C-alpha cells in the first residue's frame, strides 16, 4: 500500500509541477524508477517538455538527478552522471522511450 501511495503522490507532484497530464509511458517510467522509494520529491528540472522530433507535439525529457528518493539527491546518479530518459511522440498518439541513459 505504501508503494502505491508513494507513486500516487509522485504522479500528483509531477502533474502539479508540470500543470498537465502525462502520457502513460512517462508515468509508468517514473513509477518503475521510483518503486523502491518510500517518499519521492520532485525538484525543478525533473520534467522538461520540448518538441525534440519536430512532430508538433510535446516530447518529454526526465532528469532523475532532480528527483529525490527518501531525501537522497543522488539516488538515481552514479559516478558517470544521472539517469535521463527521453520520450518522443509518435504519429499514432503514443510515446516511445528513445533514450534511457546515465548522462
Burial class from Cβ neighbours inside 10 Å (0-12, 13-18, 19+) for residue 102 reads middle
Dump pLDDT digits (tens) for 79-90. Answer: 999 999 999 999
| Block residue for cell numbers 548522462 | 103
For 11, 14, 15, 45, 65, the CA distances from 21, given in Å and listed in that order, are: 9, 9, 6, 17, 22
- Residues of the domain holding 60: 2-102
Dump pLDDT digits (tens) for 9-65. Answer: 555 455 444 435 899 999 999 999 999 999 999 999 999 999 999 999 999 999 999
Q: Count how many domains the chain has.
A: 1
- 96 contacts: CB under 8 Å, gap ≥ 6: 25, 87, 88, 90
DSSP per residue over 46-70, as a string? SEEEE-TTSSSS-EEEEEGGGEEET
Amino acid at each position: 500500500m505504501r508503494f502505491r501511495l508513494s507513486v500516487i503522490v509522485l504522479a500528483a507532484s509531477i502533474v502539479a509541477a508540470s500543470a498537465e497530464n502525462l502520457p502513460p509511458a512517462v508515468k509508468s517510467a517514473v513509477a518503475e524508477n521510483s518503486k523502491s522509494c518510500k517518499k519521492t520529491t520532485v525538484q525543478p528540472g525533473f520534467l522538461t517538455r520540448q518538441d525534440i522530433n519536430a512532430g508538433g507535439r510535446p516530447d518529454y525529457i526526465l532528469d532523475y538527478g532532480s528527483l529525490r528518493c527518501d531525501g537522497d539527491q543522488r539516488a538515481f546518479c552514479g559516478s558517470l552522471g544521472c539517469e535521463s530518459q527521453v520520450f518522443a511522440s509518435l504519429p499514432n498518439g503514443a510515446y516511445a522511450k528513445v533514450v534511457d541513459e546515465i548522462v
